[in-house]
Amino acid sequence: MTDHELQLKSNQYRQKLLRYITEAGAGHTGGSLSCVDILNVLYNRVMNVSPENFNRPDRDRYIQSKGHSVEALYVVLADKGFYPESELETLCRYQSPFVGHPTRKVPGIEMNTGALGHGLPICVGLAIAAKLDGAQHRIFTLLGDGELAEGSNWEAAMSAAHYGLDNLTAILDHNTLQITGHTRDVCSNEPVDEKFASFGWHVVTVDGHDFAALTEVLTAKPVEGKPTIVIANTTKGRGVSFMENVVSWHHGVPSPEQYETAQAELVQAENELSEIR
């Protein structure tokens, strides 16, 4: 799949997640839009995971630690064929498995997450298990930058380096906003690259909306004996002009009018992308 095709796919993912969040009247719009491109690259270019191999131990593992952006994951998993996309019409409704945070009741989801600061320790366990088995598969997790205030992340960061888990890659969705405001104003985690480096991690910083750059770092051979953190600089609300970098869209749900405006923008962008082709 070319970068251009991935761009079109991300645009589609954005249209879909906005639709299902709007229809459900619930969800985390801003963070889902900021991490779509990362998930797109992971699932369509990097990871060896599919409905066909999901029961096999040698599949790559993805744990969404910032579980509140699950709507982005839901549309990607539907696109990968884990379930018909029409099931997303039940999002957040009575007795639906598609709740507002990842659960294993949804095909393709490895662990129940959503309470913050849980993904990285789980991934350390998965990565150690893989090492013990001499397995070659990789473990990926997506962290939120606000989430880094949870101390359990740093406990896990220590142990990942201690055990030399080069099969573990954490991706930081570095959109710099959390529910209360700018992360630097709430509880600054900067310089986040130096923090991870001092903990013994291999640190890479990348534009989190650049498909070629994301692909390059996520498919690169890991540094032997070191876990990798990819600091992906992203824009919260990416793709919809009035949502970009606006903190209230953390879990804001579009009104019908806002939804139409947002979709029109995305359709226009899609048309422009198609013309380029």
Least distance (Å) from another protein to the CB of residue 127? 8
58 binds another protein (CB under 8 A): no
> Which residues, 6 or more positions from 77, have their beta carbon under 8 angstroms from its beta carbon?
43, 83, 106, 107, 108, 109
57 binds another protein (CB under 8 A): yes
Could you give the dihedral angle defined by the CA atoms of residues 127, 133, 136 and 142, in that order, rounded to the nearest 10 degrees? -20
Structure tokens at 152: 């359990």
Nearer to another protein, 75 or 123 (CB): 123
Q: Which residue shows structure tokens 């606000």? A: 146
> Which residues, 6 or more positions from 214, have their beta carbon under 8 angstroms from its beta carbon?
37, 38, 41, 206, 207, 208, 230, 232
Nearer to another protein, 37 or 60 (CB): 60
Q: For residue 138, give the amino acid letter.
A: R
Helix axes 29-41, 3-24, angle to 10 degrees: 150
225 binds another protein (CB under 8 A): no
x/- map, 127-166, another protein, by CB under 8 A: xxxx-xx-----------------xx--xx-xx---x---
220 binds another protein (CB under 8 A): no
Least distance (Å) from another protein to the CB of residue 115? 5
Among 12, 50, 90, 103, binds another protein (CB under 8 A): 103
Nearer to another protein, 78 or 111 (CB): 111
The whole-angstrom separation of Cα 24 and Cα 169 is 32
Least distance (Å) from another protein to the CB of residue 156? 5
Nearer to another protein, 21 or 160 (CB): 160
Cβ-contact 26, 92 below 8 angstroms = yes
122 binds another protein (CB under 8 A): yes
Among 70, 126, 192, 218, binds another protein (CB under 8 A): 126
Cβ-contact 177, 236 below 8 angstroms = yes
Q: Which residue shows structure tokens 């009035």? A: 242
Nearer to another protein, 127 or 230 (CB): 127
The whole-angstrom separation of Cα 146 and Cα 269 is 30
Least distance (Å) from another protein to the CB of residue 210? 30
Nearer to another protein, 76 or 127 (CB): 127
Q: Which residues bind another protein (CB under 8 A)?
A: 57, 61, 103-104, 110-115, 117-118, 120-130, 132-133, 151-152, 155-156, 158-159, 163
